[in-house]
Structure 1
């Protein structure tokens, strides 16, 4: 998806299209309540069959509708093609570039971005994996109600993501802030503000509805990640944005998986408010540490290894309908 964004989306519209990549948030939002009903009525097995079939439909749709570049799309209009080409300009190389492995894996900006993404996914996976468990066991809701309430934070993330993507694209177009400052400001909203609400979840756990409101606002403000860790790969190196995102998402997913083990260990013998206070506090702390590191050492500046080298091979870009000029 990030490879497509790099090649399809004009720079001043990227945040809105990056927002589209958090469609998984919408999937989670409808899966929690729907699977709660399915499990309660026909059994847990059918919840897996239903989601599997839906995933297959999406996969087949993607296969037939997705094309690597605007130049290769068989149905794109000439006006849209020219607009995209003019907007992107020379940001994306037309040469087959060698992946600068050593430079990327020794890059401080990439390392800090990976760290920021660890915080992002840690705060995202905790509610995703253990939100329904928290609402059922600690707050006392039944499975259907817990499923419905667990969907609220993801609805908030989706809605807040729209808002932040519009703001980020507006500020990027106006160039009122440097790209680095813009990303750092968005990290405040995507990491530090959610951390505050996660801490509050533990503090006000005795009031279930306030706790759910805090959890909802925490994940809602995380929607600002469309302007921080999700957008930063395109700042550093648009030619390698997809691979950089694959690296940061892969590493962050591994660390975020640990959050599930930690939460499971903490609640293995007892799943009360005290145990969950530790879990939410830990999630908030990870948010804070990763955001502070990005504030100190993160950047939105283009990296020199993004540019083509003399040994790179030109690629002939042709359009299936001969619409390119």
Structure 2
């Protein structure tokens, strides 16, 4: 990659040209489209993230049923089990869905407990993926998450502390999935296709959320809330086993990839070097302003996203007074727009890079600005709409649609600047984002416990202010070039 080396040494060239050098030194392969192996990987990862988010969000909608008398068969808990003989008693015990008298603060802690574990395995998952491969780490995390989901009803019956502990374990298992995905993409995604491939996969997060929020409410009313966890967990176990049969660690080990596609992928990624070894340049990472720019922006954006992800069903129930079926439908609608926005943003970002309209840094900052500023504006507007459910749903849909633009901005920027350590550093920056996810639902619970209307207004205002701050910091210090300390020759020295 002589052109890349020359550009990095020329200090008087524009930043856009320096950013583009590693990308444009390779021409796009003619072997593209849905038939390519790399696109197949994007679709498989889409389903994996679909399942992962369906598993994690299921409690957010089920908790509404768990704390309300909404048994599908009208059981109120007044009839003693001893009045039903033999098999009928066993069936009644199976169908009964217990209700829990949990306060808003308790519900916030339960929803936040997932992130207690989720934050602990982000960096570890990225590090292990670099050593042992993203396939094994991601598949193991998804399979274990599915098994733990099956145990949620039993944990809730044992007590609130058991449920909190199980949610933390579920977070530990799911925490390795995203870093492992980035380790895989560092080996599979050519630079000029990086945005669209990764965003097709990432769209599974929001489509999985949409599906869970839509279907979980129906399951709660039709079968009872425990079946949300039985159904989602069972499907997740089946797909976790399929993952190990469908995915290969890199193009060189894939038995059915064409020689032409394999050569294109390998040659387009040759400039970034191989995966990291056991040692990491931790001091250089800690001093990197572009990395801090991504980290702070991720924290601020994830605060808003996780606040809506975990608390929107409660908002729909307490403020707009929707029943479970309406709650699930209206809470899920914004995520359709988010998933479509991810795919569109990836296509447009790659188009701008391929046509040399903007440099890598400019593209990442443009899409980050769109994805952070506009949702903040819509969120500030929500408290002034009143209880007009149509307008509120439109604004939240727009907010969660446009926030997906960050998928072509800060989210992918890790691989632009540190491809060798992308999985590990995604784990680090995601940990800061998960801290936001840990705090946000608890903060919402505390705010709305004091005063419902004022609490939700303050929650929306805080999220908007954080997004604005994160955007300013990222625009000031973000970059699009591979950092010197992240090059393979630097690691050898």
TM-score (norm 2): 0.61
Counterpart selection for 1:205 from 375, 386, 394: 386
| Within-5 A mapping of 1:262-301 | 262-271=443-452, 273-301=453-481
Contact 2:272 2:487 in 1 (8 A): no
SS of match in other structure, 1:221: helix
Offset at residue 152 of structure 1 (A): 0.9
SS of match in other structure, 1:43: coil
Contact 1:7 1:92 in 2 (8 A): no
Offset at residue 259 of structure 1 (A): 0.4
Offset at residue 208 of structure 1 (A): 1.6
Offset at residue 57 of structure 1 (A): 2.2
Distance 2:275 2:457 in 1: 52
Offset at residue 136 of structure 1 (A): 1.1
SS of match in other structure, 2:272: coil
Distance 1:199 1:289 in 2: 15
Give per-residue Cα distances to partners, 1:220-278, cap 9 Å, x unaligned: 0011112111111011111111111111112211222100110010112443x332111
Contact 1:201 1:212 in 2 (8 A): no
Offset at residue 16 of structure 1 (A): 0.9
| Within-5 A mapping of 1:1-325 | 1-19=181-199, 20-93=201-274, 96=277, 98-271=279-452, 273-309=453-489, 312=492
Offset at residue 206 of structure 1 (A): 2.9
Distance 2:483 2:491 in 1: 18
Larger Rg: 2
Offset at residue 298 of structure 1 (A): 1.6
Contact 1:198 1:214 in 2 (8 A): yes
Offset at residue 93 of structure 1 (A): 3.0
State the 4+ residue runs in structure 1 displaced beyond 4 angstroms: 94-97
Between the two proteins, the alignment pairs up a number of residues equal to: 312
Higher RCO (CA-CA < 8 Å; seq separation 6+) = 1
SS of match in other structure, 1:205: coil
Offset at residue 140 of structure 1 (A): 1.3
Offset at residue 96 of structure 1 (A): 4.6
Give per-residue Cα distances to partners, 1:111-130, cap 9 Å, x unaligned: 12111111221121111101
Distance 1:300 1:141 in 2: 45
Q: CA RMSD in A?
A: 1.8
In the alignment, structure 1 segments of 5+ residues that lack a partner are: 314-325
Give per-residue Cα distances to partners, 1:186-212, cap 9 Å, x unaligned: 111110111111111122133221011
Distance 2:343 2:275 in 1: 32
SS of match in other structure, 1:299: coil
Distance 1:139 1:49, change over 3 A: same
